[in-house]
Structure formats: structure tokens, C-alpha cells
Amino acid sequence: MRNSSRAKIHLFNDLPHLYELEEMMAFCTKYEHLYICGAEENQEYLLKFFDNCGINIDGYAVTCPEGLALSHYRKVPILAIDEVIQKPDTGVILALPDRYYRYFIPKFRKAGYSSYFVMTEYNKRTIAEQLKPRPIEEMTFEINLADHCNLSCQMCDHYSQLSEENFVNMETFEKDLLQMGKLYNHRAGAITLLGGEPLLHKEIIKCLKIVRREFPEAELIILTNGLLLLKWENSPNGNLWQACKELDVHITVTLYPVKFDYAPLKNKAEEYGIPLAMSSNIHADELTKVVKISDKHVFNLSCDAPKYGFISCLYFNKFNVLREGRYYACPVSACIGIFNKKFNQNLQLTEKDSVDIYSTESWEDFAAFSAGRVPFCGYCDVLNWRRHSEWKASSKKIEEYV
């Protein structure tokens, strides 16, 4: 029976504008002392952003600091703006809502003070949204059932086209899900089984049953290219369609420009009463069936990409991965071993790039971890990530990633 009362999980935040971040970082380098103008929740998350970027902020600047106390993030001094603008070599970042500017801009002009940076309403909002730890109802994670795939897509972020045949170990899978169920008190927003191509795993139905047992109310999703879906109705390993109906599983099919008729999938889903979405871009705000475009997510092999880029990463604080007892920030880091092996590289993972699920106490540790930059982010040159070209088969050369 489908849980019709389940809330729709919101995975896709607006991403801060990189060009504004670049200008703000350039502003910050000009001054020995920096203050954030404003002292409310969004400004606290802006402080967290600067901490993640290695930028020291001296405190907050407000019109009347008496009695102000903040609690969402770490404490820093809260000073009167009149005092701050008298300090030498000091810059101010205007990060409060525009409606309050009338209390500050005239004051700056009267004092002959021009060392301030005006943030847009968009970036003030989106930076805070990106850095807030998610509530349990919005916590999600994904698991690769198979690293390899029956397609070979250029620039795959899971490196499926580069992977040897490799399936998730069922004993490890069940053990990890049992632990995750305990940590989450059997509640979570959504869990996605994917790959590679998850339908290559002969025990996918058993995997679904394990997840549903541990997370009876979570949205459970299979993300697939759909090429094997019809064969799973009469498979010797069971009827996946029937299992999806009984276990309340949603299916999301990514559309590829290959010789395959996707229309019967929709018909079969309607026959079984299974929610099915098909799109050429699963990251779009609305599902689309236009020609699939490949994104090039560029690596900086020296691990010194500008730190501020992390906040505009599509995966940040959303697409966490459970893999062999560890909880990773994103699929790029979780699957990097495949890339390293194929191209004889050494993109390193540190202890801070993932969480040991057997050494943590609560799902809240995952929420806090997900909402912060990790060292591996230095490999991702987000400033140069871009839509590259129409989909095509992979050349399996490192140039797809650098």
C-alpha cells in the first residue's frame, strides 16, 4: 500500500552564484579585519561559510548590540557598527535583508566609509540554505548496488564506465542497513538504490526488502537507466515490479539517446500502480525529456581548488552515500577508488571525508557532517563545472575529468 501521506523530499536547493562569491572573496583579501553586518540566523550561516573557506571574521556589526545573543553557530563578538567603521583596515560585508540598509548606508556615507561589500538577497538566502543541517525528514542517502553499468556514459560521476564488475556485498549491505536503521530510529526522508546499474544485481529484491524493513516510512527509490526493467517482470530472481508495488518503491528512469523504447515502461508502471518518473536530467527542477546533456565536473588533481566553490556544488548537503560502513559526502568521493585505479591517480580520502557509521551515535552526526566542507572538496574545481555536450559513449580517457 502506497504511503500517500509521505511528504515530498526537497533535494534541489538553489545554488549560490559563483561570480558573486568570487567578488566577495576578492573583497575579503583586501582587509586585515572583517565583520558581517547583521546578527541573525542567516548571518550565522554566512560565518560558517567563511569558516569553511578559511576566512577569518572578527565579529558581527549591528546598530544596537546590547542584549544580542546568537545560538545557531559559534560565538563571535557583536559590535556597534559605529565602532566597527572607525577601525583601521576593516571591511564590512552587508549580509542583512535589504530593508535594513537604510540604517547603514547613510551612516557609511556620512562617515566617508566605503569599505563594504553588498551581498545580493539571492546569495544571502542560498548560502544559509546550503549550510543548514537537514531535519530527519529531509535526510537521504544512496547506495550503489553495482559499480559497473550496461551503458558507458562519458564523464559519469560514479565512474561506472570505468569500473570492473563489482556488486555490493549482501552481508555488508544488511549489516550497514541494520546500523543505519538504529541510528535513524528507522526514520529518514529518502533512500536511493542506484549504481552503476542497480538492476544488474540479482538480489535487488532482497535489497529492497532489507531497506524497507529498516526504514518502513522512507521514500525508497530505484534510480536506473531502465533498459532491464521489463526483463525483471519474469526474472528467475523474482518479479521486481510486484516487489516495488508491495514495498512501496518509486522508480526513476534516466532517459538516454539509445535504441530503446521507453514507452512500455510507463505502461507497465501504470499496470502495477507504481510511481515512475522518466527524465533526461534527474537534477532538473522539473522532469524533462529533451536530449540528454553530459556535465563535465572538472577535477583539480592538486587538491587546491578555491575553497569557496563547495557551496555551489550540486551534491553538497544532499547526495550522501553509504558505502562499506562509511557515510560519504557525495558519490564523487565515495567512488573515487575506481577513478584512481583506472588512471593510476592518487586522489586521497582522509578520515574527515567520511563518517564511520559504527563509531557515531546519531543521524544528527550525519546531518552536521553533510552540511560542512570536507578536505576532498579541494579536488573539485566547481568554478569550471559546466554543461559539456550531448550525451555520448565514454572515451574512457582521463580528459573527461580534467
**Verdict on whether the full-model pTM lies above 0.85:** yes
pLDDT at 11: 59
pLDDT of 252 above 70: yes
Residue 213 and residue 67 share a domain: no
- Cα 96 from chain centre: 26
Between residues 65 and 16, which one has the greater pLDDT? 16
pLDDT at 285: 54
pLDDT of 3 above 70: no
Instruction: Judge whether 348 lies within some domain.
Output: yes
pLDDT of 8 above 60: no
Instruction: Judge whether 355 lies within some domain.
Output: yes
Last residue in a domain, options 131, 157, 189 = 131
pLDDT of 254 above 90: yes
What would the mean pLDDT of 306-329 be, rounded to a whole number? 96
pLDDT of 22 above 60: yes
Instruction: Judge whether 94 lies within some domain.
Output: yes
**pLDDT digits 0-9 by tens, 348-394:** 999 999 999 999 999 999 999 999 999 999 999 999 998 888 899 99
pLDDT of 1 above 50: no
Percent helix, strand and coil across the chain, each to the nearest 5:
35, 20, 45
Instruction: Judge whether 10 lies within some domain.
Output: no
pLDDT at 75: 87
Residue 149 and residue 69 share a domain: no
Residue 126 and residue 141 share a domain: no
pLDDT grade for 146, boundaries at 50, 70 and 90: very high
Structural domain range at position 122: 18-131
What would the mean pLDDT of 307-333 be, rounded to a whole number? 96
Last residue in a domain, options 98, 131, 164 = 131
Helix and strand element counts for the chain (H, E):
12, 15
Computed over every residue of the chain, the mean pLDDT equals 93
Sequence letter at residue 89: D
pLDDT at 289: 62
Identify whether the C-beta of residue 237 lies closer than 8 Å to the C-beta of residue 205.
yes
**pLDDT digits 0-9 by tens, 97-139:** 999 999 999 999 999 999 999 999 999 999 999 999 999 999 9
**pLDDT digits 0-9 by tens, 209-232:** 999 999 999 999 999 999 999 999
- What angle is formed at CA 359 by the lines to CA 346 and CA 12, rounded to 5 degrees? 65
Last residue in a domain, options 131, 153, 187 = 131
Residue 185 and residue 100 share a domain: no
Percent of the chain at pLDDT > 70 equals 94
Residue 316 and residue 338 share a domain: yes
Q: What CATH number is given to the structural domain containing 359?
A: 3.20.20.70
Beta bridge partners of 59: 35
Kindly give the pairing relationship between strand 249-254 and strand 276-279.
Answer: parallel
Residue 195 and residue 109 share a domain: no
Residue 156 and residue 186 share a domain: yes
Q: What are phi and psi of 187, to 5 degrees?
A: -125, 140
Q: How far is CA 220 from CA 9, 188, 191, 351, 387, in A?
A: 11, 10, 5, 29, 29
Alpha-carbon Rg for the chain, nearest whole angstrom, is 24
Residue 173 and residue 73 share a domain: no
**pLDDT digits 0-9 by tens, 282-294:** 665 555 666 788 8
pLDDT grade for 192, boundaries at 50, 70 and 90: very high
pLDDT grade for 5, boundaries at 50, 70 and 90: very low
Helices (H), 152-203: 170-183
Residue 172 and residue 122 share a domain: no
Instruction: Judge whether 321 lies within some domain.
Output: yes
pLDDT grade for 243, boundaries at 50, 70 and 90: very high
Instruction: Judge whether 377 lies within some domain.
Output: yes
Structurally, the chain folds into a number of domains equal to 2
pLDDT at 397: 97
Instruction: Judge whether 2 lies within some domain.
Output: no
pLDDT of 31 above 60: yes
Residue 109 and residue 164 share a domain: no
pLDDT grade for 74, boundaries at 50, 70 and 90: confident
pLDDT of 67 above 80: no
Q: What CATH number is given to the structural domain containing 107?
A: 3.40.50.20
